[in-house]
């Protein structure tokens, strides 16, 4: 009987889908909370990303094709039990910017306690901020609240007060880049529930609450970009996107060793090291020659030299962002590196040597129920799994402010704060005619 009730509870629990539109891959993750409240990844699909450059859509048709392949694979793995309709999508790219702002909300009814509705009004006001032409607010993150001049409050719900203030971390992006992502997802037959900044999603899946409290830097080294998120006292303090990633290292190997790009990528994955000092002079790899030509021999020491030079450049930019945040001396938990680039050998040693901060690799199974699945353990899936987790967080937030909508077992539960949905609808309405539907190629 207890088994049946647990099974029924599992069937009734909503499903959330995360869609990671990356530069090298597009990954789709389907998650559900089990009877213990832990997230289980039910299915995943992956496709090569053909139309994305440095985190931004560069070719609409190819991106749609890749999204459809990834979603179809995720559906097929559950053998027709699921139809994916709504997704949480990640966004990155060098157009992403962040700023700090303070919001104020004066309450009319002092008798009542501060509620989620008061916080929602304060956040809604931030979304109405005037932005420079071509820029739009993507995410508004409350850092800390102030109630009647009492500072440092993390959760004001239930308190009494007239003047509710908050310090916000506001993330903005290019309107065109957001529209391109939305357009690709909609044309793939899906609905965008929420667009989430990728480093925030990655942080959700690989960081512990203890690390966020102590102070930590998340560095997500993807194919096209390196994303940074800095936390201190459990609050996000700084975000940045560096327009370099693993693909630049592959290009360097290709040019430096004068070999094909696919060979350069395989070399990097199988033999790549971020430290020259850890490679032996006499270790040699033979690359097949082109038709009728002799194989090309490359020493692993030379390979490591090429990789280390570019990684040092990326780490320098990461270190600059850490210093720029003003929290360099307060980050007790050091650095957590995730993403595809974190799989390079000796990457943690190079980070520690250049920044003087403790470094570990972040695996996305930190908060999952099914941690035995070897496939999803890879750091390359940190963003996709994080998007599922952020989707559940949004569902919980919505249920605090209004009655949650019932979701059928065969469909994906819809969202989160209604703010994001209306935000994108308003952009799309304003931008009718902004794109020429016949023009399928969009410059990134």
Over the stretch 137-161, which tens digit does the pLDDT of each residue have? Answer: 999 999 899 999 888 888 899 998 8
| Average pLDDT value for the chain | 84
Pairing of the two strands 150-153 and 359-361: unpaired
Q: What is the pLDDT of residue 250?
A: 94
List the domain boundaries for the chain.
2-94+176-207+366-373+381-430, 97-172, 209-361
Residue 57 and residue 53: Cα distance in Å, rounded?
Answer: 6
Q: What is the pLDDT of residue 367?
A: 82
247-273 pLDDT per residue, tens: 999 999 999 988 899 999 999 999 999
Q: Which of 2-6, 59-63, 106-110 has the lowest mean pLDDT?
A: 2-6
3-state helix, strand and coil shares in percent for the chain, rounded to the nearest 5: 40, 30, 30
367-390 pLDDT per residue, tens: 888 766 778 889 999 999 999 999
* Bridge partners for 359 per DSSP: 335
Q: What's the sign of the alpha-carbon dihedral 323, 325, 328, 331?
A: negative
Pairing of the two strands 56-57 and 52-53: antiparallel
Question: Average pLDDT for residues 20-40, to the nearest whole number?
Answer: 90
Q: What is the pLDDT of residue 1?
A: 42
Answer yes or no: are the C-beta atoms of 219 and 226 closer than 8 Å.
Answer: yes
Residue 237 and residue 168: Cα distance in Å, rounded?
Answer: 9
For residue 353, pLDDT over 60 is answered with: yes
Q: Which of 10-24, 130-144, 305-319 has the lowest mean pLDDT?
A: 10-24
CATH topology of domain 97-172: Dna Ligase; domain 1 (3.30.1490)
| pTM exceeds 0.95, yes or no | no
Homologous superfamily assigned to 2-94+176-207+366-373+381-430: ATPase, nucleotide binding domain (3.30.420.40)
From 3.40.50.300, 3.40.640.10, 3.90.1150.10, 3.30.420.40, which CATH number describes the 209-361 domain? 3.30.420.40
Answer yes or no: are the C-beta atoms of 190 and 200 closer than 8 Å.
Answer: no
Q: Which residue has the tokens 């992502």?
A: 181
Strand order in the sheet with 97-106: 97-106, 163-174, 135-147, 150-153
Question: Average pLDDT for residues 199-226, to the nearest whole number?
Answer: 94
* Beta-sheet strands, E only, within 175-212: 191-197
CB count within 10 Å of CB 111 equals 6
Report how far apart, in Å, the C-alpha atoms of 125 and of each of 8, 53, 103, 118, 425 are: 40, 33, 8, 11, 17
294-318 pLDDT per residue, tens: 888 889 999 999 999 999 999 999 9
Same fold, 2-94+176-207+366-373+381-430 and 209-361: yes
Highest mean pLDDT among 5-14, 127-136, 271-280, 312-321: 312-321
């Amino acid at each position: 009987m207890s088994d049946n009730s647990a099974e029924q509870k599992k069937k009734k629990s909503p499903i959330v889908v995360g869609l990671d539109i990356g530069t090298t891959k597009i990954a789709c993750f389907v998650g559900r909370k089990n009877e213990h409240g832990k997230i289980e990844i039910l299915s995943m699909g992956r496709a090569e990303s053909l139309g994305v450059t440095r985190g931004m859509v560069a070719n609409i048709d190819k991106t749609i094709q890749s999204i459809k392949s990834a979603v179809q694979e995720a559906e097929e793995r559950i053998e027709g039990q699921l139809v994916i309709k709504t997704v949480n999508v990640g966004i990155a790219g060098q157009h992403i910017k962040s700023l700090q702002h303070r919001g104020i909300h004066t309450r009319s009814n002092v008798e009542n306690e501060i509620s989620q509705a008061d916080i929602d009004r304060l956040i809604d006001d931030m979304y109405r901020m005037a932005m420079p032409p071509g820029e739009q607010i993507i995410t508004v993150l409350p850092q800390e609240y102030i109630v009647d001049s009492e500072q440092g409050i993390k959760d004001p719900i239930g308190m009494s007060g007239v003047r509710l203030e908050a310090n916000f971390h506001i993330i903005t992006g290019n309107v065109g880049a957001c529209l391109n992502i939305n357009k690709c997802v909609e044309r793939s037959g899906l609905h965008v529930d929420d667009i989430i900044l990728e480093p925030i999603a990655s942080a959700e899946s690989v960081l512990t609450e203890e690390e966020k409290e102590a102070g930590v830097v998340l560095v997500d080294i993807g194919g096209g970009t390196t994303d940074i998120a800095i936390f201190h006292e459990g609050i996000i303090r700084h975000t940045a996107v560096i327009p370099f990633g693993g693909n630049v290292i592959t290009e360097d190997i290709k040019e430096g060793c004068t070999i094909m790009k696919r060979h350069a990528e395989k070399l990097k994955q199988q033999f790549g090291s971020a430290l020259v000092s850890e490679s032996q002079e006499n270790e040699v790899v033979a690359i097949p020659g082109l038709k009728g030509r002799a194989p090309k021999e490359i020493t692993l020491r030379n390979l490591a030299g090429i990789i280390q030079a570019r990684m040092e450049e990326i780490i320098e930019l990461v270190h600059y962002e850490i210093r720029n945040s003003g929290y360099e001396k307060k980050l007790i938990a050091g650095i957590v590196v995730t993403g595809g680039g974190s799989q390079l050998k000796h990457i943690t040693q190079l980070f520690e040597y250049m920044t003087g901060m403790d470094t570990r690799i972040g695996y996305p199974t930190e908060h999952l129920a099914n941690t035995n699945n070897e496939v999803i353990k890879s750091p390359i899936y940190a963003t996709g799994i994080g998007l599922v987790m952020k989707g559940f967080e949004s569902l919980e937030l919505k249920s605090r402010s209004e009655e949650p909508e019932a979701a059928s077992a065969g469909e994906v539960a819809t969202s989160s704060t209604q703010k994001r949905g209306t935000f994108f609808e308003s952009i799309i309405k304003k931008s009718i005619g902004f794109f020429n539907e016949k023009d399928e190629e969009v410059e990134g």
